[in-house]
Amino acid sequence: MRVAVVGCGYVGLVSGVCLASVGHDVVGIEVDSRRRDQIAAGVPPFHEPGLAELLDDGLTSGRYRVSGELAEADAADVVLLAVQTPPTGDGSIDLSYLTRVATELYDVFTYGRRRVVAVRSTVIPGTTERVLGAAFGPEVAIASNPEFLREGSAVQDFLHADRVVVGCRDTWGREQLAELYRPLQAPVIFTNPTTGELAKYTSNAFLATLVSFSNEIAHICESLPGVDVEDVLSILHGDRRLNPGPGERPQILSYIKAGCGFGGSCLPKDLSALIAAGESGGTELPLLRAVRSVNEGQPVRLTEATQRALGSLEGRTIAVLGVAFKAGTDDLRASPGLRIVDELLDHGASVAIYDPLVSVQALNGRVQHGPMRVAADMADALEGADACIVTTTAPETGALGDLLATGAYPGLVVVDGRRVLDADDLAGAVYVAVGRSVRVPVEMS
Ligand SMILES: NC(=O)c1ccc[n+]([C@@H]2O[C@H](COP(=O)([O-])OP(=O)(O)OC[C@H]3O[C@@H](n4cnc5c(N)ncnc54)[C@H](O)[C@@H]3O)[C@@H](O)[C@H]2O)c1
Q: What number of other Cβ atoms are within 10 A of residue 42's Cβ?
A: 14
Which residue's CA lies nearest to atom 15 of ligand 1?
10
Together in a domain, 150 and 212: no
The residue whose CB lies within 8 Å of the most ligand 1 atoms, and thus the one to mutate among 80, 84, 104, is 84
Query: CB–CB of 18/3 below 8 Å?
Result: no
In ligand 1, the atom with minimum distance to the C-alpha of 97 is 28
The residue whose CB lies within 8 Å of the most ligand 1 atoms, and thus the one to mutate among 83, 131, 269, is 83
Q: Which of 18, 168, 221, 266 is catalytic?
A: 266
Together in a domain, 243 and 342: yes
pLDDT at residue 443, rounded to an integer: 56
pLDDT at residue 244, rounded to an integer: 85
For residue 195, being part of any structural domain is answered with no
For residue 442, being part of any structural domain is answered with no
In ligand 1, the atom with minimum distance to the C-alpha of 29 is 33
* Signed CA dihedral, 323, 328, 330, 332: sign only: negative
Together in a domain, 235 and 278: yes
Together in a domain, 206 and 185: no
Whether 266 is catalytic is: yes
Ligand 1 pocket, residue 82 CB under 6 Å: yes
Distance from residue 369's CA to the centre of ligand 1 (Å): 28
The Cα 83–Cα 8 span in angstroms is 8
Distance from residue 179's CA to the centre of ligand 1 (Å): 24
- Give me the residues paired with residue 67 across strands: 29
Together in a domain, 159 and 307: no
Ligand 1 pocket, residue 201 CB under 6 Å: no
Half-sphere CA count of 163, side-chain side, radius 13 A: 12
For residue 444, being part of any structural domain is answered with no
pLDDT at residue 11, rounded to an integer: 97
* Full residue range of the structural domain in which residue 415 is found: 202-433
Together in a domain, 253 and 384: yes
The Cα 207–Cα 203 span in angstroms is 6
Domain boundary among 163, 189, 215: 189
Domain boundary among 136, 161, 189: 189
pLDDT in tens, 189-222: 999 999 999 999 999 999 999 999 999 999 999 9
pLDDT at residue 72, rounded to an integer: 97
In ligand 1, the atom with minimum distance to the C-alpha of 101 is 31
For residue 284, being part of any structural domain is answered with yes
Together in a domain, 329 and 254: yes
pLDDT in tens, 321-334: 999 998 888 889 99
Chain Cα centroid distance, residue 148: 10
Burial code (b: 16+ CB inside 10 Å, e: under 16) for 334-350 equals bbbbbbbbbbbbebebb
For residue 30, being part of any structural domain is answered with yes
Distance from residue 126's CA to the centre of ligand 1 (Å): 19
- In Å, what is the CA distance from 254 to each residue of 40, 236, 251? 36, 12, 6
Question: The domain spanning residue 58 has which CATH number?
Answer: 3.40.50.720
In ligand 1, the atom with minimum distance to the C-alpha of 14 is 16
pLDDT at residue 364, rounded to an integer: 76
Task: Report residue 163's pLDDT band, with 50, 70 and 90 as the boundaries.
Answer: very high
Distance from residue 362's CA to the centre of ligand 1 (Å): 18
Classify residue 86 by its DSSP letter.
-
Distance from residue 317's CA to the centre of ligand 1 (Å): 37
For residue 440, being part of any structural domain is answered with no
Looking at residues 301-306, what average pLDDT do you find? 96
Ligand 1 pocket, residue 85 CB under 6 Å: yes
In ligand 1, the atom with minimum distance to the C-alpha of 150 is 3
Considering only CA atoms, which of 151, 371, 372, 181 is closest in space to residue 266? 151
The Cα 353–Cα 373 span in angstroms is 6
pLDDT in tens, 91-103: 999 999 999 999 9
Ligand 1 pocket, residue 35 CB under 6 Å: yes
Together in a domain, 276 and 409: yes
The Cα 261–Cα 275 span in angstroms is 18
Spatial CB neighbours of 188, under 8 Å, sequence gap ≥ 6: 163, 164, 165, 166, 177, 178, 181
Task: Report residue 444's pLDDT band, with 50, 70 and 90 as the boundaries.
Answer: low
Ligand 1 pocket, residue 209 CB under 6 Å: no
Does 154 have pLDDT greater than 90?
Answer: yes
Which residue's CA lies nearest to atom 19 of ligand 1?
84
Together in a domain, 177 and 211: no
Together in a domain, 299 and 414: yes
Ligand 1 pocket, residue 151 CB under 6 Å: yes
Distance from residue 151's CA to the centre of ligand 1 (Å): 13
Which residue's CA lies nearest to atom 30 of ligand 1?
31
Mean pLDDT for all residues in the chain: 94
Query: CB–CB of 364/431 below 8 Å?
Result: no
For residue 196, being part of any structural domain is answered with no
* Total domains present in the chain: 2
The Cα 359–Cα 286 span in angstroms is 39
pLDDT at residue 366, rounded to an integer: 72
Distance from residue 47's CA to the centre of ligand 1 (Å): 15
pLDDT in tens, 12-44: 999 999 999 999 999 999 999 999 999 999 999
In ligand 1, the atom with minimum distance to the C-alpha of 331 is 1
Half-sphere CA count of 130, side-chain side, radius 13 A: 10
Task: Report residue 313's pLDDT band, with 50, 70 and 90 as the boundaries.
Answer: very high
The residue whose CB lies within 8 Å of the most ligand 1 atoms, and thus the one to mutate among 11, 18, 124, 332, is 11
In ligand 1, the atom with minimum distance to the C-alpha of 154 is 3
pLDDT at residue 399, rounded to an integer: 84
pLDDT in tens, 132-153: 999 999 999 999 999 999 988 9
Together in a domain, 21 and 161: yes
Distance from residue 51's CA to the centre of ligand 1 (Å): 16
Together in a domain, 31 and 160: yes
> Residue length, the chain?
445
Percent of the chain with pLDDT over 70: 98
Does 442 have pLDDT greater than 70?
Answer: no
For residue 441, being part of any structural domain is answered with no
Domain boundary among 161, 189, 217: 189
Looking at residues 340-357, what average pLDDT do you find? 94
